[in-house]
Amino acid sequence: MADEEPSLPLRWFWNAYARAYDFIWDSPLTEAIMREATRAVPKAGSRASCAVDLGCGTGLSARALDSRGYDVVGVDSCGCMLSRAVAYGRVSRVVLTDAASSGLADASAGIVCAANVLHLHARPTDVLDEAHRLLVPGGVLLCVWPADTLTLGYLLSADMRAGRGAASALAAAACRLAFGVMGAPLGARRHASEEVRACVGTWALGRGYRVIDQGVAERVSEYAVMRKVDVDANST
């Protein structure tokens, strides 16, 4: 989750959501989505073994990066989310701040992940610009956001098909519905999926990023994996 200086009710919402987040989303479906979304992500190398997860939440997406040998830094503006990411050992360290202003060093990350944050942030392009600043030349940017065809009903069925028990899947669906109803009037979601897709595509084209993989994982999440132009390599 990430939102620049959220209102008090919205902060309350994200703190409450943090307490239920893993019950809702820590599932075989989420693992399957991230496996597909990260299949083109290279393993960590000596050049840059640090990964930054912008809007990391409780660190569910960070697990896929950790499995590839990256040392993951989680950035989020919700302290309750970050405390869980640390408690579950999903990140090596955290930064409590907006996803668009991590304060981390320039060109310090081999990969930057922006999973399920762009549709929530007031200015998703600012998050992408922050990712660009953090990446080393040749580094990889992973973006994930909800598919525009996604419904609560399909998500429930996908959850069970991925291997989640019916009772647990139904309870998670009820929680998703409840938080959706609470978050809508507070403006928890800022952008539709097609807006995010257009934003990512336009931004990548303008920055000269090369798309190395993209698709819709499990018909639930869209993703794009892009490589930052390696200036040194192009100049030789």
DSSP-H helix ranges across the chain = 8-25, 28-37, 62-66, 79-87, 124-134, 152-161, 166-183, 193-207, 231-234
Burial 12-36 (b: 16+ CB within 10 A, else e): ebbeebbeebbebbbbebbebbbeb
The rounded distance, in Å, linking the Cα atoms of 196 and 18 is 23
Between CA 157 and CA 164 the distance in angstroms is 10
Question: Which positions ≥6 away from 167 have C-beta within 8 Å?
Answer: none
Helices (H), 48-112: 62-66, 79-87
Residue 47: pLDDT band by 50, 70, 90 thresholds?
A: low
pTM (2 decimals)?
0.93
- Token output for 211: 């798309």
Checking if the pLDDT of 99 tops 50, the result is yes
Q: How confident is the model at residue 230 (pLDDT cuts 50, 70, 90)?
A: confident
What is the pLDDT, as a whole number, of residue 233? 46
Distance CA 69, CA 54 (A): 18
